[in-house]
Amino acid sequence: MIWIHPGILAVFGAFIIPFIPFRLLKKIYFFSLPLIAFLILILTTKGFFGEIPMTTWKIHFMGYDLILGRIDALSLFFAYVFAIIAICANIYSLHIKNDFEHVAAMIYFGSTIGAIFAGDLFTLYVFWETMAISSVFLIWFRGTSSARNAGFRYIIWHVISGSLLLFGIALHVQKTGSIFFTNFMDFINLGLDSIPYLLILLGFMINAAVIPFHSWLTDSYPEASITGATYMSAFTTKCAVYALVRGFAGLEILAWLGAVMAVYGVIFAAIVNDGRRLLSYHIVSQIGYMVCGIGLGTPLAINGAVALAFSNIIYKTLLFMGMGAVIEVTGKSKFTELGGLYRYMTLTFYLYMIGALSIFGFPLFSGFVSKPMVVYASAELHLPLIFLLLEGAAIGTLHTVGLRLPWSVWFSREKPKDLIAKEPPKNMLVAMSITAFLCVFFGTYPGYKVFYSILPYPTDYEPYEPFKVVTTIQLFAFTTLAFLIYRKKYRNVEAIVLDTDWLGRVLGSRFVSFCETKLVDLARRIDKSSSYFAEKIKILFTNPEMTYKSTKSNLEQSSNSPISRQLEMGIGILLTLLFMLVYLIYLILQEIF
């Protein structure tokens, strides 16, 4: 039996969706796509396709072997969870009538699996960009002007990430002659030799929303369509986490960046006024734990990072589904416009709370068997600051996702009279129930044993040690106690929160404005004076006695002449040559050092 690439199956299968005639058939087909992908993954593990070598599905292209299917423990681990969550997200989206949203979602899912299974850098790049392009439609399908603008900012960030990645790959291939996607840690040193890997690292870091490159995430996810956000919360950042594990495991700076961003995310999540923006900031915090684990680099830390990615994908999707259900029904996402929904959306509240308890890492929920692995790994390496930052972020997690959001949305005050509230469509509740069940299943016996058995490294980590259980309950109880005491003083404010995107949005806008006015004015003046001199020289050689008789009027005439246009082109060519010169100097320096 020939192995079929589940990602490519989803990408090409997506294009058929709009052509399926009946609504019910369309729904069945849409639901089946990730399900078939999941079945292929199970059959692959069970040996149905025979002994799968580490690399399969090779294409010979321009003298290189493109490896489309690198199947090993790490890639399979991520592929499993992506397929599971795509099934749940598809059920959640079944009521959506826009076929093209389904097409975008399935291309996004397929390309994520493609990037996970990519064995070479070129294939990785192609799927990396496909992910960016397909996912931006999930933002634009929201249909609001803020979604359109956020989508453009999102795609700019991802084009930058893709360009850095491509530039890094090109330099790496030029240097080594290999396109195999391997661990780059052996190539990293303090010299110029590291530049290709720093570019690749930057590309990965942007997609993983590592601070200070995280603002695209907190800017765009809250603006995405309700169902689109559930896919987005799962795929892009976790795919980048996979790429970081594969390429940069053990890079110390990542451990520190991760620990800082774990706290950074919860600080911002504590002050934003939008439900999905709070959850987006919280993605930054959770990615912090994973990035920290990758940076620590021990088998326990790596296991912790990927285990957390697995459970995070499930509970974060559940949280986005819960908040998405509130927006679907009420049309509101700001805390200042919500409140008192408990009586009307009770089931949604309890399902959301399963996700909230999981993300905090309460015993019996999936976060408890994954997140402490990273914290424990930092303790084993005796890194007290990282340990305290990660534990502090756990308090922030409970405060923001477990207490502030549910309190603001479902409690805090009586429901405003103009707010329409009821339980969301059944398919949404079914998807949330399945995801909630998975949160409990992977957090309890035998679920967590199954979960541990597919981790990339064998582990003897025991989550349910009595001490770990009681100290986690203490942390939970006393943080909740502090919140309950202070809740009356808590108020949500109708405001936006500035972040690092301020640089791009305000300074960038000023820079564009400067270019459009002052710089263009300067260019015109240079043009005029150059034309003036050119005209003078021309007259000097053709009719010398006219040199001193040239007037202002013929100077103005000359600014629109072919000579000035040639000068504009000349400046363009000069700039290109300057860039090439800089690149040449870089190559020479690289040769010298």
Partner 1 sequence: MKSMSDKFGELKTILIFGFIALIAEVALRFIIHHKSHFLWEEIPGFYAIFGFFGYILLSKFSKFLGYRILMKEPDYYERRCKR
The residues binding partner 1 (CB under 8 A) are 266-268, 270-271, 339-340, 342, 379-380, 382, 384, 387, 391-392, 395-396, 399, 403, 406-407, 410-414, 466-467, 470-488, 493-499, 505-506, 509, 512-513, 516
Comparison of 449 and 487: residue with beta carbon closer to partner 1? 487
Q: Which of 97, 94, 98, 119 shows the shortest CA–CA distance to 33?
A: 94
Enter the tokens of residue 209.
């929303």
Q: What are phi and psi of 274, to 5 degrees?
A: -115, 135
Minimum Å gap between C-beta 540 and partner 1 is 43
Minimum Å gap between C-beta 392 and partner 1 is 6
Minimum Å gap between C-beta 477 and partner 1 is 3
Comparison of 298 and 561: residue with beta carbon closer to partner 1? 298
Minimum Å gap between C-beta 194 and partner 1 is 33
3-state secondary structure of 184: coil
Comparison of 8 and 383: residue with beta carbon closer to partner 1? 383
Comparison of 366 and 400: residue with beta carbon closer to partner 1? 400
Minimum Å gap between C-beta 496 and partner 1 is 5
**Cβ 216 vs Cβ 206: under 8 Å:** yes
The type of residue at 296 is L
Report the alpha-carbon distance of residue 245 to residue 184 in Å, rounded. Answer: 10
Q: Which of 378, 354, 313 shows the shortest CA–CA distance to 440?
A: 354
Comparison of 145 and 189: residue with beta carbon closer to partner 1? 145
Enter the tokens of residue 199.
């570019």
Comparison of 195 and 271: residue with beta carbon closer to partner 1? 271
- HSE, side-chain direction, 13 A CA sphere, residue 18: 8
Comparison of 86 and 211: residue with beta carbon closer to partner 1? 211
Comparison of 102 and 415: residue with beta carbon closer to partner 1? 415
Which own/partner pairs from 475-478 qualify as long-range (CB within 8 Å, at least 24 positions apart)? Answer: 475/391, 475/394, 475/395, 475/398, 476/360, 476/362, 476/398
Minimum Å gap between C-beta 334 and partner 1 is 9
Angle at 165 between CA 161 and CA 168, to 5 degrees: 140
**Cβ 120 vs Cβ 165: under 8 Å:** no
Report the alpha-carbon distance of residue 428 to residue 320 in Å, rounded. Answer: 11
Strands 64-70 and 55-61 turn out to be antiparallel
Report the alpha-carbon distance of residue 546 to residue 540 in Å, rounded. Answer: 7
3-state secondary structure of 57: strand
Minimum Å gap between C-beta 307 and partner 1 is 20
Minimum Å gap between C-beta 382 and partner 1 is 7
User: Concatenated DSSP letters for 114-136?
Assistant: HHHH--BHHHHHHHHHHHHHHHH
Cross-strand pairs, 67: 58
Report the alpha-carbon distance of residue 453 to residue 443 in Å, rounded. Answer: 14
Nearest-10 crossing angle of helices 99-117, 73-92: 170
Comparison of 240 and 255: residue with beta carbon closer to partner 1? 255
Minimum Å gap between C-beta 410 and partner 1 is 7
Q: Which residues fall within 8 angstroms of residue 531, CB to CB, at 6 or more apart? A: 555, 558, 559, 561, 563, 564, 567
Minimum Å gap between C-beta 520 and partner 1 is 13
Comparison of 437 and 483: residue with beta carbon closer to partner 1? 483
Minimum Å gap between C-beta 295 and partner 1 is 18
- HSE, side-chain direction, 13 A CA sphere, residue 206: 21
Report the alpha-carbon distance of residue 318 to residue 352 in Å, rounded. Answer: 7
Tokens 């059959």, residue? 43
Comparison of 22 and 467: residue with beta carbon closer to partner 1? 467
